Amino acid sequence: MLNFPNYLDGYFFDLANASAESKVLSTCYIPCVMLHKTLQVQHAKQLKITTSVRIPAGWAMKRMRKRILVTGGAGFLGSHLCGRLVARGDDVLCIDNFFTGAKDNVAKLLAHSNFELMRHDVCMPLYVEVDEIYNLACPASPIHYQYDPVQTTKTSVHGAINMLGLAKRLGAKILQASTSEIYGDPTVHPQTEDYWGHVNPIGPRACYDEGKRCAETLFFDYYRQHRLSIKVARIFNTYGPRMHPNDGRVISNFIMAALRGDPITVYGDGKQTRSFCYVEDLIEGLIRLMETEESLIGPINLGNPNEITVSELAIQIIASAGSRSKITYHPRPIDDPMQRQPDITQAKKLLEWYPTITLEKGLAHTIEYFRDFKE
What residue ranges bind ligand NAD (CB under 6 A)? Answer: 71-72, 74-78, 96-101, 121-123, 136-140, 155, 159, 177, 179, 235, 237-238
Residue placing its CB nearer to ligand UDP in the complex, 237 or 301: 237
Q: 327 is in the binding site of which of ligand NAD, ligand UDP, none (Cβ under 5 to 8 A by kind)?
A: none
Supply φ then ψ for residue 117, to 5 degrees: -115, 130
Residue placing its CB nearer to ligand UDP in the complex, 142 or 362: 142
DSSP 271: -
Our answer to whether residue 29 is catalytic in this structure is: no
Instruction: Judge contact between 354 and 291, C-beta under 8 A.
Output: no
Rule CB under 6 A: is residue 249 a binding residue for ligand UDP? yes
> Count of residues for the chain?
375
- 237 three-state secondary structure: coil
The answer for residues whose C-beta is within 8 angstroms of residue 44's C-beta and 6 or more apart is none
Rule CB under 6 A: is residue 142 a binding residue for ligand UDP? yes
Residue placing its CB nearer to ligand UDP in the complex, 9 or 262: 262
Instruction: Judge contact between 52 and 12, C-beta under 8 A.
Output: yes
Going by C-alpha positions, the residue among 84, 91, 88 that lies closest to residue 114 is 91
The footprint of ligand UDP on residues 289-328 (CB under 6 A) is 310
Question: Distance between CA 232 and CA 173 in Å, rounded?
Answer: 11
145, 183, 208, 239: which is the annotated catalytic residue? 208
Candidates 114, 189, 336, 369; binder of ligand UDP (CB under 6 A) is: 336
Q: How far is the CB of 187 from ligand UDP (least distance, A)?
A: 17
Candidates 116, 148, 333, 350; binder of ligand UDP (CB under 6 A) is: 333
First to last CA, the chain: 64
Residue placing its CB nearer to ligand NAD in the complex, 55 or 232: 232
Question: Distance between CA 201 and CA 212 in Å, rounded?
Answer: 12
Q: How far is the CB of 268 from ligand UDP (least distance, A)?
A: 6
Catalytic site residues? 208
